[in-house]
Structure formats: structure tokens, C-alpha cells
Amino acid sequence: MNPDNKLREDICIHAKSMFDRGLTVGSSGNISALMSDGRLLITPTGSCFGRLDPARLSVLENGRHVEGDAPTKEIPLHTAFFDTRPDTGAVVHLHCSNATALSVLPDTDPDNMLPAITAYGVMRLGKVKLLPYFMPGDDGMGEAVRALGGTRSAVILAHHGPVVAGKDLDTACYAMEELEETAKLILMTRGLSPNLLSPAQIQGLVEKFNVQWDD
């Protein structure tokens, strides 16, 4: 199969899997990935992850819509990661419940939203930054990501949801799922004084798996 056709299929497979498991609902969320020619393949505006059509995904060339249905209005959020993190091959943005709930709690650390409760949370996400509230579609979301200078692969928009960048589609999707599961564990153990990974254990993961941890 042509690699770009496979990418189209894979976006739809991942999207439906996440929709079927309740990680996003209705017409919320968007996914983007680089095609073999450097153009950007992205889910259309108002589309449901459970019913995406590979042939109707949007294609952007140099920021201009050239094929498929009209793209998501949150393009600046995606391009901010591609422009500031050169190893990015895909970006996933969802409105999943646990991560969004964590974003509005007053004692959440905005610089490191997900305490080190599991090894995979550290390995796949690094530190997750809380960004302020923006109206959906506001270009300020992309500007806030750009202001991080490529230091974070994952952020959570307050009152909105998480955004994760990865080297390829699989990596970005799996990291997003890890983020939501970690947020769930944190909420489940909140107020119970859970034993977190120690600084030495975190450092061991950072060194072994080349995790970007320090800003």
C-alpha cells in the first residue's frame, strides 16, 4: 500500500479506537501527521473520530488547504509542535475527561501536571505543562506552545484537553493514551498520599530512555 494511503487508514483506525473507548466524544479532537512529501494530513473540522473517511482527510501544503474536507480550526496548535520540535511526525489533541479534570483542580502543578506515578508516564511524556484557557480555535493556543521553545512534547489546555506530539502516529497516539491513563491514576489516588517514583528512579528512566525532563 502507498505509505500515504496507509497513513490515512491508520489515522482513522487510531481515531475510531480512541472514540470507541470514550477518550473523545462527539466531534471533538483532531489528529495530524506528516505525509511522505512533507504535506500535513489532518482531520477535518466537525468530524467524528468514530466515522472518519480516509479519503476525506484534509491536506495542507505550506499552511494552505489543498485537498479533502475543510480542516480543523485548531491548525495553529498542531503546526506549533511541528515547527518547534523537528522530530515531530504526528500530533494528537483530545478532550479526554481525566486530563481535563486535572487541568481545573487548584493544586495541580502547572509546570509538571502529572506526578511520577508510573514509569511509562515519565518515559512517554516527560513533564506535562498546563497551558491557560483559550477559546477554541484561538491562535493563542499555538503561540503558547511556541513559547515553550520545543521543550515539551505534551501539554494540557485548561478547561479543554491534552495535546501530544510524537515522532510518528503510533508514538503520539500511545503517548496520548498514557497521558489520560496517568491522569486517571492521579485522580484515583488523590488525597491518599501515594508513593511516587523517587527522584533517583525518575533520573534512571530519563537517562536510560533519553527522556526530555529538564527545561
CA 133 to CA 24: how far, in whole Å?
19
CA 99 to CA 159: how far, in whole Å?
10
For the question of residue 74 being annotated catalytic, the response is yes
CA 210 to CA 215: how far, in whole Å?
14
Q: What are the distances in angstroms from CA 30 to CA 7, 27, 154, 209?
A: 15, 9, 15, 28
For the segment 9-46, what is each residue's pLDDT rounded down to a tens digit? 999 999 999 999 999 999 999 999 999 999 999 999 99
The catalytic residue among 9, 61, 67, 74 is 74
Q: What is the pTM of this model?
A: 0.96
What is the reported pLDDT for 6?
Answer: 97
Closest-CA residue to 23 (of 183, 149, 134, 166): 183
For the segment 41-85, what is each residue's pLDDT rounded down to a tens digit? 999 999 999 999 999 999 999 989 999 999 999 999 999 999 999
The catalytic residue among 9, 61, 67, 120 is 120
Which 3 state secondary structure label does DSSP give 137? coil
Closest-CA residue to 99 (of 143, 166, 158): 158
CATH architecture of 3-208: 3-Layer(aba) Sandwich (3.40)
Q: What percent of the chain has pLDDT over 90?
A: 94
Instruction: DSSP letter for 71, please.
Output: B
CA 44 to CA 187: how far, in whole Å?
32
**Predicted confidence (pLDDT) at residue 176 exceeds the cutoff of 80:** yes
Closest-CA residue to 180 (of 49, 28, 24): 24
